[in-house]
Amino acid sequence: VLSLSTTITISKDKLLDGLLVSSFDEASCFSRYQSYLYRKRSSHKPSEYLISKLRKYEHIHRSCGPSTKFYNKIMRKGTKFSKNDVSTKCKYLVWTAANGLGNRIVTLVSAFLYAILTDRVLLVKFGTDMSGLFCEPFPDSSWLLPRSFPYWKDQKHIETYENILNNFKVNSSQVLLPPFLILNLQHTHDRHNNFFHCDGSQDLLQKISVLILRSDQYFVPSLFMIPSFREELSKMFPQKDTVFHHLGRYLLHPSNEAWEIIRKFYEAHLAKANERIGLQIRLFNTHRPPHQTVINQIVSCTLQHKLLPDFNAQKSVASPLKKTSKVVLVASLFSQYGEKLKTVYQANRTVTGEVIRVYQPSHEERQKSNDDMHNIKAWTEIYLLSLCDALVTSTKSTFGYVAHSLGGLKPWILQRAYNESIPDPPCRHAKSMEPCFHYPPKYDCRANSTVDFTSLFHHMKHCEDVSGGLKLV
């Protein structure tokens, strides 16, 4: 029989210190209430205020979500301009997919925060390549965009944010606002010039019932730039570098299919080790350094920061085997990394006598799109990395960002190698566990001039891996 205090502790751990509610059916999503058995307890507690905002959000989602009378009413009205449309009780933010899974997830979390701040209901347009990845995050409702929603078929007739913005500049009093609007914040679309972070734009966007978001960026830092959100945000996140860590753990629960893979792999290879080190090796196509250079760089980084021990090349000087073991989880598109690292640690005895085991769950060889199984593999590897005790990640990779932010870890980020030589230092410790916003705005809305936002906000710094990027610290 468990004591009352033990029972309360288990329930607090299981619900991630109040982030989650207990009302879901466990079998529909095992990961939701089992993740605490696999991930170390977070040292970051969500604020009471954040928890109250999540409960309020769930209430809005329940009353305005798909198939409620408010939802049906707005859909009946359609996407066309008409007078007296603006004052509806429920407003929506539709997330759409762009780019790889890491990019999609960082945008999804940003969209959720934006939805909370603007009392919108977040709906996700998942194609078949995403529908098998996550559980429903909101109780008694769905976040899936219904198939009858106009954007599935009819995108051309929906007005765009840039268009409205341009017309607004010409004559602000004459602009008739549409009920549906496409908000494209993709970095390839407008670089740094979307004015989204300006209060004026937010006043305008607030009047639109249905916003359809296209983005591939972690745009949370721009929400912190918007004066009207600032107070709410600092109440929700007294510790600013915990935004993704809390919202990600609230929102992203592996589906039963993904969870089965994660759990099995964890139990077979990771559970028994004394320490789990995750290595995420992502190389972009341009200037790819030789495999061996990357291996040497990783060995040098993990040795310098005491993540993994040194090894003796001559077996004769082997030290006695210790009972402790470490396991290295390698995530990469290429099989060579796992294989080479395995050889390094199997052929050589470590100086400490520790046993090092190396596992690589998959090697897809290239990034694929519209492939269900490919995305399941990516998601399960991101999640497994997030269960590690320490991470070494690759520069500029949102795949790595999701892993370390979910895990509440500050990774060692491998510096980019351009040729045969190992960069010095081989890796740098991240300043915070937040993802980096790669293409942040550079425009100061009030001063009407270019600005470096790190000079205005002390909790924003340039990223370790992308000098023009911004991250919350």
**Which residues contribute to the site for ligand GDP (CB under 6 A)?**
99-103, 282, 331-333, 362, 364, 367, 374, 377-378, 381, 397-399
3-state SS assignment for residue 382: helix
Which is nearer to ligand GDP, 45 or 342 (by Cβ)? Answer: 342
Least Å from the CB of residue 217 to ligand GDP? 11
Kindly state the smallest distance separating residue 377's Cβ from ligand GDP, in Å. 4
- Minimum separation from the CB atom of position 309 to ligand GDP (A): 25
3-state SS, residue 5: helix
How far apart, in Å, are the Cα atoms of 306 and each of 40, 273, 277?
20, 17, 11
C-beta closer to ligand GDP: residue 201 or 394: 394
Kind and range of the H or E run holding 338: helix 335-347
Please identify, using beta-carbon distances, which residue of 63 and 367 lies nearer to ligand GDP.
367
Q: Using the minimum distance from each CB to ligand GDP, give the nearer residue, 74 or 406.
A: 406
Helix boundaries (H) for 226-288: 227-236, 243-251, 256-265
Beta strands 311-312; 349-350: pairing state: antiparallel
Per-position DSSP letters for 62-90, written without gaps between them? HHHSTTSHHHHHHHHH-SS--TT-S--S-
Question: By beta-carbon distance, which residue lies closest to ligand GDP?
Answer: 100
Q: What is the DSSP letter of 241?
A: G
Give the shortest CB-359-to-ligand GDP separation in angstroms. 13
Closer residue to ligand GDP in complex, CB, 241/381: 381
How many Å apart are CA 345 and CA 366, to the nearest integer?
A: 26
Q: Work out how close the CB of 469 gets to ligand GDP at its nearest, in angstroms, rounded to a whole number.
A: 12
Of 123 and 283, the one with the shorter C-beta distance to ligand GDP is 283
**Beta carbon nearer to ligand GDP, 236 or 327:** 327
| Cβ(245)–Cβ(405) below 8 Å | yes
Report the alpha-carbon distance of residue 145 to residue 125 in Å, rounded: 5
Instruction: Report, in Å, the least distance between residue 14 CB and ligand GDP.
Output: 29
CB of 411 to ligand GDP, least distance (A): 13
Distance CA 267, CA 60 (A): 39
